[in-house]
Amino acid sequence: MEYPTLADAILNLEPSAEFSLIENDYDGIDWINQSVQKPSKELVDQEYLRLVNLYNSLEYQRQRKEEYPAIEDQLDEIFHNGIDGWKQTIQAVKDKYPK
């Protein structure tokens, strides 16, 4: 998941919306599809904040992903040290970056 933008919030609220956005700012929205109602600034701000909070709450996943060994290395770990050795390697990363 990439860091959310205002466009992400708008599309979550109105998936069929067509618009352009300048500088990730509500006032910079050029609403193209007039058959879809433009959501209010308050709704967009609330949805954007929800997406940012979700992104922040998943920081541990991004950290773990960077630190886990490559799949090839994990398979080598299993081959040489068995499942228990592999579990220790993975658990060390999970312990370093808890949920």
What pLDDT is attached to residue 58? 96
Quick one: 50 and 24 in the same domain? yes
43 and 66 both lie in a single domain? no
Contacts of 14 (CB under 8 A, 6+ apart): 36, 37, 38, 39
Q: Does residue 31 sit within a domain?
A: yes
Provide the token pair at 9. Answer: 């919030």
Domain that includes residue 15, residue range: 6-57
- Indicate if 36 and 74 belong to the same structural domain: no
pLDDT tens digit sequence for 17-47 = 999 999 889 999 999 988 999 999 999 999 9
Question: What pLDDT is attached to residue 1?
Answer: 79
DSSP, collapsed to helix, strand or coil, labels residue 24 as coil
Q: What are phi and psi of 34, to 5 degrees?
A: -75, -10
Considering the domain architecture, whether residues 81 and 46 belong to the same structural domain is answered as no
- H helix count then E strand count, the chain: 4, 2
- Residue pair 60/93 in contact (Cβ under 8 Å)? The answer is no
DSSP state of 97: S
Q: Is residue 47 part of a domain?
A: yes
Could you tell me the two tokens for 61?
Answer: 């996943």
pLDDT the model gives residue 50: 98
